[in-house]
């Protein structure tokens, strides 16, 4: 349980959320986009997005504006392309310029030139590329905030550094909130470090 929280986040800011295991970092992310209450949790007070209370917004609006990548996120058992178009179709119905949009998304995570065609099974990708595809999938809904729960926990250092550079690049277009236990990663990302200590934020 978290209490007495007060945090303002600027547009295009990177927030590195840190704290000991079990201190409710993931719970905080779930509260931001409504998953917490959907799962039966309770959230009092206000969460404002551009001055508007998120409780006044619908679930679909929240999912589109505040995209989240959970720590245990997995790819769909489809092709690389289908992993991206699935979410597009869910939120938009018909898709114009489908292949162009898919290629743009893959370019945005530096993956287009590393895959063997859009019809390549996503399961065939190496671990680091799978994680970048997961990040590309977050972008399909055209969000404004990207929330990532330890996205590098299962990656080797080479791929951690690739993801770090990717997130720094994406922060030019998106606000990013990332949970990490890695102090060095937080320093590399160059964002603001916010710690959860005794159920409260410490700066």
What are 132-179's pLDDT values in tens digits? 999 999 999 999 999 999 999 999 999 999 999 999 999 999 999 999
Give, rounded to a whole angstrom, the gap between the first and last alpha carbons of the chain: 19
CB 92 within 8 A of CB 86: no
* pLDDT, position 34: 77
* CA–CA separation, 130 and 136 (whole Å): 10
In a domain, 184, yes or no: yes
* CA–CA separation, 163 and 148 (whole Å): 11
Whether 119 has a pLDDT exceeding 80, the answer reads: yes
The values of phi and psi at residue 192, to 5°, are -90, 130
Q: Residues, the chain, total?
A: 203
User: Considering its fold, how many domains does the chain have in total?
Assistant: 1
* pLDDT, position 124: 95
Is pLDDT larger for residue 195 or for residue 63? 195
* pLDDT, position 38: 65
* pLDDT, position 59: 82
Q: Can you read off the two tokens belonging to residue 9?
A: 């986040």
Who contacts 145 (Cβ-Cβ below 8 Å, separation ≥6)?
32, 49, 65, 66, 67, 174, 175, 176, 177
Whether 16 has a pLDDT exceeding 70, the answer reads: yes
* pLDDT, position 56: 87
In a domain, 132, yes or no: yes
Characterize the bridge pairing of strands 200-202 and 192-197: antiparallel
Please give the model's pTM, rounded to 2 decimal places: 0.92
Q: How distant, in Å, are the alpha carbons of 48, 52, 61, 76 from that of 56?
A: 10, 8, 10, 31
CATH assignment of the domain containing 131: 3.40.50.300
In a domain, 9, yes or no: no
In a domain, 2, yes or no: no
In a domain, 124, yes or no: yes
Q: How many CA atoms lie within 13 A of 62 on its CB side?
A: 21
SS3 content of the chain, % helix, strand, coil (to 5): 40, 15, 40
In a domain, 105, yes or no: yes
Range of the domain at 97: 14-202
* CA–CA separation, 93 and 81 (whole Å): 16
In a domain, 185, yes or no: yes
CB 162 within 8 A of CB 133: no
In a domain, 1, yes or no: no
To which residue do tokens 């310029």 refer? 97
Tell me the pLDDT tens digit for each residue of 40-93: 677 778 889 999 898 888 888 888 899 999 887 789 999 999 999 998 887 777
């Amino acid at each position: 349980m978290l209490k007495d929280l007060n945090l303002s986040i600027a547009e295009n800011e990177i927030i590195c959320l840190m704290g000991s295991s079990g201190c409710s970092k993931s719970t905080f992310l779930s509260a931001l986009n409504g998953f917490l209450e959907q799962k039966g949790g309770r959230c009092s007070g206000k969460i404002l997005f551009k001055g508007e209370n998120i409780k006044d917004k619908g679930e679909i609006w929240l999912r589109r504006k505040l995209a989240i990548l959970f720590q245990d996120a997995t790819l769909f058992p489809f092709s690389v392309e289908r992993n991206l178009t699935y979410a597009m179709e869910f939120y938009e119905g018909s898709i114009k310029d489908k292949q162009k949009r898919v290629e743009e998304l893959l370019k945005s995570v530096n993956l287009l030139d590393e895959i063997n065609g859009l019809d390549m099974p996503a399961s065939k990708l190496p671990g680091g590329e799978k994680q970048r595809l997961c990040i590309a999938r977050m972008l399909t809904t055209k969000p404004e905030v990207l929330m990532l729960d330890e996205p590098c926990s299962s990656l080797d250092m080479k791929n951690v550094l690739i993801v770090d550079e990717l997130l720094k690049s994406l922060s030019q277009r998106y606000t990013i909130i990332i949970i990490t236990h890695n102090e060095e990663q937080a320093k590399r990302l160059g964002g603001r470090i916010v710690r959860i200590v005794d159920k409260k934020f410490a700066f």
